[in-house]
Structure 1
Amino acid sequence: MSNRPPTEATIRRLERSSGALATRAVARMDDELPWFRAMPADRRSWVTLVAQAGIASLVEWCRNPGRPPRLTGEVFGAAPRELVRVVALKQTVDLIQVTVDVLEDHVASVAEPGDEDALHLAVLQFSREVAFATAHVYASFAENRGAWDARLEALVVDALVRGERSAELSGRAAALGWATSTPVVVLVGATPRGVDDPHADVRRAARSLGSEVLVGVHAEQLVVVLGRMERLDEVAERVSDEFGDGPVVTGPVVDGLGRAGESAAAALAGLRAARAWPEAPRPVAADALLAERALDGDPLARAALNERVAAPLHAAGGEVLETVRAVLNSGGNLEASARAIFVHPNTVRYRLKRAADLTGISVTDARGSWTLQVALALAELDRDRSLWH
């Protein structure tokens, strides 16, 4: 087979036939590729433009075989960039193969007599260049998309940390593939030291358990948003291994990314107060740190303690509250508490069970006792303030 380029006469015949060859190529795509038949008309027209541009570029390449190929712009510049979003790389390879097959099938009818081998070789060499150009287009798109997603992810995480609740937040999340109404939880902790890409480690850990994830670094703190599955506590426990030293705090689970700011606010408040409980598990729930958060000045925690603990105990009647106070004063000794309020120990146990049902906290548990003490003390301070004012 000769290495000489096709003659000018063959190139002119190829140029005149380019439109018909592109039409035949698209017709064969329609016959052989079911997914192509299913494409909307506008996308099919984009593919037709690419096929026409490809054959036109082949003509110019045959005329100037020594020039550096610029096929990325010449061929793929004919269609909108959206084409890369909707046509997978494997599908594009199929389209190129069909077009090359059509060109090869018509070499004999297009080439001047004696020029068939030269045109056939040119088609093969050009198809190789187009393959490289295709890889470049998809690699560039993936790189740009990755950079864009990273910026968008950072904006979403930053908005959650700052407590934004806007329509833009939902739009940004949707662009990252998040559903609008799936369970979501936020984790915060220290950014690990000496780790090149903590974002990648967190993503791998979360996705290995089937969870969607957003990651951001905010003021030296690693902020992780998990979603799209029910057992988020299991994912949070696994992902907490990827944080740096110190506590990792989980906010409450909320019903959608639109409310993830609430989970983030609780988690961040918990992280600020977590040093007051050095023996806290890791991760620790922000709600388990309500007492520490309230002492640290978190108004949401103070309100939660009043609503969930102090108010139900006051509403239950004097006997329940009196018994709880007696047990707290006795250091958890039920017999001593019973003697102090002149009742049977079984009565104390009954009233404590009632208190636990109302608040979800056991007064005989060390953490529960501490939380009850703080909640009742703050409630008294608030009551005194209301009397003064």
Structure 2
Amino acid sequence: MHERKAEQVPADPEQERIRAETVRRLERSMGALGTAAVARMEERLAWFRRMSAQDRSWIGLVAQSGVAAFVDWFRNPGRGRPAVTVEVFGTAPRELTRSVSLQQTVDMIRTVIEVVEGQVDELAAPGGAQQLREAVLRYTREVAFSSAKVYARAAEARGAWDARLEALIVDALLHGDREDGLQTWGSALGWALTPVIAIVGSLGGEDAGKVLDDVRAAARRLGHDVLAGTQGRRVVAVVGVGDRYPVGELPRAAAEPLAGLFGPGPVVVGPAVPELRSAGASARAAVSGLRAAAAWPDAPRPVLADDLLPERALQGDTEARRQLVEDVYTPLLGAGSPLLDTLTVYLEHASSLEATARMLFVHPNTVRYRLSRVAELTGHTPSDGRGSFVLRIAVALGRLSEEPGA
């Protein structure tokens, strides 16, 4: 069976005459309506009064376009659904969505419609007030839907742009280039918080997009600024933590709530740095730590890159070698030979106080005192397994650095 085509209802000549007369009246009043709408916004909307002249001009242009598009649609009701997005917001969608929030756009639309509705009786031809009022209501609904679409598309585009810029910043941080532009790039993403830390972990078998989204969402819930990207199967997150943590608790305290969002394996946290521009040092230390973390199977999760200095040094990280020498060997050397000699003998004699005292011809209490001074100077306890390992590597590297040609 063939389907019957829907029969078109013949137009009422009288209604068409009234519509045509209303259109003529609207056309004569378009400029005045747009001006009245802008004046009403100036009067009622505080946010509109605070805007720059350029931004107010964009709003005025959109208001005028909205009135013109309504008149054109009202003239040809047979066109069906009005193409509001193109006809109204097509004038300046980018400027509008940058300068005005969705709620403010709704306020703007409401104001324009109120101006038109308030003059329906004067604008409509005799007998056409109800016809015009119904058209205004329908058009208002379409503008509301189109507003939501414009902002949804802008948010989607912004999200894609942000993700690309984040990946570019992370790559620049890891490779140490373009650091002068990092602060500008960060500002484009709304970056404001310092100090900054880098957190690096693996993806494992997880989807990269999901891990990045989870890390970003969790960091923002904690009130942090965050940039996140991938490098191969590694996830690199750069986090601006603000002043919510005491200096002594950074960066571990800031990283702990995020560590579980990375894939299996070590999660390494770079040292805190004062600004985004210098975050490359933190990121590179964290990546170096992740490469070396396999040498310390019992490392905590997350582990500080500075706690992995011996492993990083053994793997050839020159910055880790320099830091160990400066932080451990140089203070010991400056404190005089008794401390360094006592530590060396103690490490070579299986951490035995008595054996060390006999070799040095001193009382065990003297050895005890000197070892406590070593711990005070370096932050590493010689009698602790991990501490003795760090000290042994640092002393060896320090002595190698003193060799001619080192």
TM-score (norm 1): 0.94
- Which segment is superposed worse, 117-126 or 162-171? 162-171
Contact 1:160 1:261 in 2 (8 A): yes
- Deviation sequence 1:202-253 (CA, Å, 0-9, x none): 1222223222211111111010111132434222011111111111111111
**Equivalence for 2:113:** 100
Cα distance in 2 for residues equivalent to 1:371 and 1:187:
23
2:323 to 297, 301, 304: 304
- Deviation sequence 1:308-355 (CA, Å, 0-9, x none): 112222222111111101211222222221122111122112211222
Cα distance in 1 for residues equivalent to 2:162 and 2:108:
28
Cα distance in 2 for residues equivalent to 1:13 and 1:141:
36
1:235-250 correspondence to structure 2 within 5 Å: 235-250=254-269
**% identical equivalent positions:** 53
Once the two structures are TM-superposed, the CA of residue 380 in structure 1 deviates from its matched residue by 2.7
1:199-214 correspondence to structure 2 within 5 Å: 199-214=212-227
Secondary structure (helix, strand or coil) at the match of 1:331 reads: coil
**Equivalence for 2:281:** 262
**Judging changes above 3 Å, is the alpha-carbon distance between structure 1 residues 81 and 208 closer, same or farther for their aligned structure 2 residues?**
closer
**Equivalence for 2:149:** 136
**Equivalence for 1:123:** 136
Is residue 393 of structure 2 the alignment partner of residue 363 of structure 1?
no
In structure 2, give the amino acid aligned to 1:131. A
Once the two structures are TM-superposed, the CA of residue 302 in structure 1 deviates from its matched residue by 1.0
**Equivalence for 1:284:** 303
**Equivalence for 2:32:** 20
- Which segment is superposed worse, 46-55 or 372-381? 372-381
**Equivalence for 1:157:** 170
Is residue 195 of structure 2 the alignment partner of residue 176 of structure 1?
no
Contact 1:185 1:226 in 2 (8 A): yes
Cα distance in 2 for residues equivalent to 1:235 and 1:172:
23
**Equivalence for 2:75:** 63
**Equivalence for 1:113:** 126
- Deviation sequence 1:11-61 (CA, Å, 0-9, x none): 011011011111111121122222222222222222111111111111110
Contact 2:252 2:304 in 1 (8 A): no
2:55 to 35, 43, 61: 43
Secondary structure (helix, strand or coil) at the match of 2:402 reads: helix
Contact 1:251 1:266 in 2 (8 A): yes
- The total of aligned residue pairs comes to 385
Contact 2:199 2:269 in 1 (8 A): yes
Once the two structures are TM-superposed, the CA of residue 385 in structure 1 deviates from its matched residue by 4.6
Cα distance in 1 for residues equivalent to 2:403 and 2:36:
88
TM-score (norm 2): 0.90
- Which segment is superposed worse, 98-107 or 69-78? 69-78
In structure 2, give the amino acid aligned to 1:90. Q
Contact 1:165 1:259 in 2 (8 A): no
**Equivalence for 2:396:** 377
Cα distance in 1 for residues equivalent to 2:39 and 2:221:
43
In structure 2, give the amino acid aligned to 1:332. S
Cα distance in 1 for residues equivalent to 2:179 and 2:78:
56
* Structure 1 runs not aligned, ≥5 long: none
1:205-244 correspondence to structure 2 within 5 Å: 205-230=218-243, 231=245, 232-244=251-263
1:147 to 154, 160, 165: 160
Cα distance in 1 for residues equivalent to 2:224 and 2:167:
18
Secondary structure (helix, strand or coil) at the match of 1:224 reads: strand
- Deviation sequence 1:92-137 (CA, Å, 0-9, x none): 1111111111111111111111111111111111111111111111
How much is the aligned-residue C-alpha RMSD, in angstroms? 1.9
Contact 2:197 2:240 in 1 (8 A): yes
Cα distance in 1 for residues equivalent to 2:320 and 2:62:
61
